[in-house]
Amino acid sequence: MKAQVRAWNGLRVLLLALALIAPLTPVWASDDADVPDGDIPQSVDEATTIDAAAAYALWQKGVAFVDVRKDARWATGHIPNATHLYLDKGFSAESLAQVAQPDQEVVIYCDRGVLSSVAVETAVFWDYAKLYYFRNGMHAWSAAGYPVEK
């Protein structure tokens, strides 16, 4: 069963790579504030979906946070001590390994979940086992009044 899941994840990563080089702009390349809530994945296989309260508890515990938003969105404010690895140009197996090893906890977020869902799926493919998909990311974090760094 696990081999089937990995094969499916491998196919999804391949499709992601093809979409990134396609002439059409994929949905995750847009500002995900424009994406209807129903189009944002509710969960990612082999990852734990968390809300703002759970993310805050993990942040207080010192778990690594990775922000996969565009540079301009990062500059408007991000979770303190988060590492910025924009999905389209900075996010790679090597760059993620500098933040957390595959057996360590890591929270991946964006504005609302479009970019982070793709990043989490990719990290699952790279054998990360303690992943948190922070659906609604900065949107929920800011709404809860948690600290934001610029």
Per residue in 36-78, pLDDT (tens digit) is 777 899 999 999 999 999 999 999 999 999 999 999 999 999 9
Distance CA 111, CA 32 (A): 7
| pLDDT at residue 101 in the model | 97
Distances (CA, A) of 100 to 81, 91, 96, 141: 13, 13, 6, 22
Per residue in 86-139, pLDDT (tens digit) is 999 999 999 999 999 999 999 999 999 999 999 999 999 999 999 999 999 999
Going by pLDDT thresholds of 50, 70 and 90, the confidence category of residue 28 is very low
